[in-house]
Amino acid sequence: MINNFIFHNPTKIYFGDEVKANLSLELANYGKNVVLVYGCGSVVKNGIFDEVNEVLKKLDKNIAYIDNVMPNPTLKKLEEGVKIARAFKADFILALGGGSVCDYSKALAASINYDGDFWQEYFINQSEPKCDVVPLGCVLTMCGTGSEMNGGSVITNEQTHQKIGKVFQDRRVFPKFSIINPKYTLTLSKYQMVNGIYDAFNHICEQYFSDDFDNVSDYVAEGLMRSIIVASKKAIKNPNDYEARSNIAWASTLALNTLIHCAKSGDWMVHMIGQAIGGVTNATHGESLSAISLAYYEYILPYNVSKFKRFAINVWGVSDDEDDLKVALNGLKAMREWMCELGLSINLKGILDESLIDEVVKNTFILNGGYKELDANEIAFVLKNSL
């Protein structure tokens, strides 16, 4: 470990099925006016909404509802939520759902008391809050994003087709607590489950494929990736395997709670390209990541063959009996086979039309934390190779 870092994660995690008791314990610490934020109806159909609502009512909370938060939360939806929460004089925000609802709720928490243009301030300028932040908590129903234990928020401006992430460093934006009940994730469709699995896996890859020095974070990352691979294979055969689903849930949280980012620069270009694809096409986040990943990693592999070789051996169990490049390529081959086994998209066919590539490139933020800083022409090349 040669880089300095600060690790501070203020989010308390309750893991398991004692949701009502833990939620009651936490909510007793906050004010009367609670805004309950949730998605497009699945939590109502499967009864989770009723469980949470019952707790709020037993605590005699005043409740305002923000529903129909979409998979790619929009700026317009955020503006609507800010109006509701301001009029309600919100004391607390409770996010009930997956990563999109958690992301949305963090943007909402930072925007309620901000008088200016929060899109410009937080997502374009990437500034930190200069106002009071409304505290929030999460009850997770889908795992993959890790949003339940970090300061990240991704919002789509439907007018400009920009999908931009803001990773808040201000710990006031982090959830005060998150409740992770793996049983809640059993109601997900296969499509939702596998895309959440890949989202978590790619979060680890983005941090792993950066820097060259020996560090603890990479060893932890390799263990998390192996855990996800093993658990995902069990879950795809038996979606009701509680042990597998609980391991996926906890690995997804650890993948992006800043732990394995300690001392690392991080790559994040798969996410930058994937978010730009989502902004232009409204594709699901996990699907846009899986569709672009192989083309991206095949392109940057020559810039650090040794790290991809390590990935092949330590994560995928590839034999070290050939030259370094062949071993490294066999690692990506094993990754492709696993992705196909899960039924993930491994290219952009049916997701992105070639005519939209220029717009995706224009909306892609270029970062320099990986082994190769791509220019616009290289991003276009990767996109074309994934079609």
**Of 184, 215, 240, which residue sits at a domain end?**
184
What would the pLDDT profile of 218-247 be if each residue is shown by its tens digit? 999 999 999 999 999 999 999 999 999 999
Which is nearest to 19 in space by CA: 129, 134, 96? 96
What would the pLDDT profile of 86-130 be if each residue is shown by its tens digit? 999 999 999 999 999 999 999 999 999 999 999 999 999 999 999
Same domain for 194 and 180, yes or no, is no
Contacts of 58 (CB under 8 A, 6+ apart): 24
Q: How far is residue 30's CA from residue 342's CA, in Å, rounded to a whole number?
A: 42
Rg (CA), the chain: 20
Q: How far is residue 331's CA from residue 42's CA, in Å, rounded to a whole number?
A: 37
Which of 3-7, 213-217, 321-325 is predicted with the least confidence, judged by mean pLDDT?
3-7
Residue 311 counted as domain residue: yes
How many separate domains does the chain show? 2
Residue range 133-149: average pLDDT?
A: 97
**Of 116, 151, 184, which residue sits at a domain end?**
184
Q: How confident is the model at residue 59 (pLDDT cuts 50, 70, 90)?
A: very high
**Of 133, 153, 184, which residue sits at a domain end?**
184
Element (H, E) at 153: strand 152-157
Containing domain of residue 162, as a range? 12-184
pTM of the model: 0.96
What interhelical angle do 190-208 and 285-300 show, nearest 10? 40
Q: Report the CATH number at residue 111.
A: 3.40.50.1970
Secondary structure letter of residue 317 according to DSSP: -
Same domain for 170 and 194, yes or no, is no
DSSP helix/strand/coil, 307 = helix
Same domain for 226 and 173, yes or no, is no
Asked if 81 and 108 count as a contact pair (C-beta separation under 8 A), the reply is: yes
Using the predicted structure, report yes or no on whether residue 1 has a pLDDT greater than 80: no
Q: How far is residue 22's CA from residue 26's CA, in Å, rounded to a whole number?
A: 6
What would the pLDDT profile of 356-381 be if each residue is shown by its tens digit? 999 999 999 999 999 999 999 999 99
Tokens standing for 98? Answer: 């997956």
Residue 2 counted as domain residue: no
Same domain for 79 and 223, yes or no, is no
Tokens standing for 90? Answer: 């919100």
Q: Write down the pLDDT at residue 40.
A: 87
What would the pLDDT profile of 266-310 be if each residue is shown by its tens digit? 999 999 999 999 999 999 999 999 999 999 999 999 999 999 999
